[in-house]
């Protein structure tokens, strides 16, 4: 006891450092081993409407039945629906853009208001140099915005 009284200041600093070290270890442990009950996406997907697989299959079938597409694949990432469409090389850009209406017509208003939608049109044969064409529909938007095969720095500067 006399040792503690004689070295009071270093002893208190040592206790405080030990407590801080324990708290730091606990924080690091929680950072690397988070609770498994929480979603990795946080609460971003709370109240997310269910995307019916039958509706997605119907969209894919209608796009393929248009005779403009060869293959359609689909995936969902967090709150973004992504459609990848391989088009025939003779498909015009305006015709491909019309395929986006199939998606909007088949999805419910709840799904459209919650998810962002991306469409990637590609020509797998690479014969049509107008592709790739990318369409993006934000949950706040009323229509798709489009970006086609833009080549940066293609100015005729001499």
Tell whether 21 is covered by a domain.
Answer: yes
Strands 145-147 and 116-122: unpaired
Count of CB atoms within 10 A of residue 68's CB? 18
Instruction: Flag whether 136 is in a domain.
Output: yes
* 76 in the same domain as 141: yes
Establish if 28 belongs to a structural domain. Answer: yes
Shared-domain flag, residues 100 and 59? yes
Task: State which residues form the domain around 12.
Answer: 2-32
Strand partners, 84: 73, 120
Question: CATH number, domain at 60?
Answer: 3.30.300.190
Q: Are residues 69 and 131 in the same domain?
A: yes
pLDDT beyond 50 at 158: no
Cα 140 to Cα 5, 80, 106: the distances in Å are: 68, 13, 18
136 and 58 inside one domain: yes
Within this chain, do residues 15 and 58 fall inside the same structural domain, yes or no?
no
Q: How far is CA 155 from the centre of its chain?
A: 33
Is 0.75 surpassed by the pTM of this model?
A: no
Number of domains in the chain: 2
pLDDT in tens, 88-108: 888 888 888 998 899 989 988
121-143: b (≥16 Cβ within 10 Å) or e: bbbeeeebeebebbbebeeeeee
The answer as to whether 41 is a domain residue is: no
Q: Are residues 28 and 57 in the same domain?
A: no
Give tens-digit pLDDT for 44-101.
Answer: 677 778 888 899 999 999 999 988 889 999 999 888 999 999 998 888 888 889 988 9
CA distances from 34 to 25, 44, 49 (A): 14, 18, 27
């Amino acid at each position: 006891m006399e040792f503690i009284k004689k070295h009071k200041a270093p002893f208190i600093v040592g206790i405080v450092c030990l407590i801080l070290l324990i708290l730091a270890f606990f924080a690091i442990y929680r950072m690397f081993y988070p609770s498994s009950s929480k979603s990795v996406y946080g609460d971003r997907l709370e109240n997310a409407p269910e995307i019916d697989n039958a509706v997605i299959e119907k969209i894919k079938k209608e796009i393929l039945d248009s005779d403009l597409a060869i293959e359609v694949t689909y995936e969902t990432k967090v709150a973004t629906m992504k459609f990848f469409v391989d088009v025939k090389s003779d498909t015009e850009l305006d015709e491909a853009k019309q395929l986006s209406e199939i998606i909007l017509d088949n999805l419910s208003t709840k799904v459209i208001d919650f998810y962002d939608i991306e469409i990637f049109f590609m020509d797998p044969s690479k014969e049509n140099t107008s592709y790739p064409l990318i369409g993006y529909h934000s949950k706040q938007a009323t229509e798709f915005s489009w970006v086609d095969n833009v080549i940066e720095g293609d100015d005729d500067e001499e």
